[in-house]
Amino acid sequence: MTEDRRKEIALKVVEQMVMENGIRGVQQARQDLGNQAKKIGITTEEAFEFYESFVPKFLGRVFGYSHVGLTTSKKFQIHDDESCPWDKGGA
């Protein structure tokens, strides 16, 4: 199996999970994403970066748009110890 095919399958798995479970509230989504990152051995920063690239593509597929953009005004700062602000009761 090629690396591109693995990526395609991974994206389809994530899309299916979102279709089945819906898009959670912001705080819950952040916490879930941070927890999943820890479980699969990636940084929370990588998880957020993936999610930011995934959401526009996913919404485009769901709503039939050829292009969906995402503009963010705040980047999440990941601390050196990989802890997240919401783990400490912060934003």
For residue 49, pLDDT beyond 80: yes
Q: Which of 54, 51, 70 is nearest to 62 (CA)?
A: 54
Residue 91 lies in a domain: no
Residue 88 lies in a domain: no
Whether the Cβ atoms of residue 52 and residue 34 lie closer than 8 Å to each other: no
- Provide the domain count of the chain: 1
Domain housing 49: 3-79
Residue 68 lies in a domain: yes
Q: Which amino acid is at 83?
A: S
- pLDDT classification of 73: cutoffs 50, 70, 90: low
- Output the six-digit token pair for 56: 């526009």
Residue 22 lies in a domain: yes
29-41 residue pLDDT tens: 788 889 999 999 9
Residue 85 lies in a domain: no
What's the mean per-residue pLDDT of the chain?
76
Q: What does pTM read for this prediction? A: 0.51
80 vs 57: CA distance, rounded Å: 30
Residue 72 lies in a domain: yes
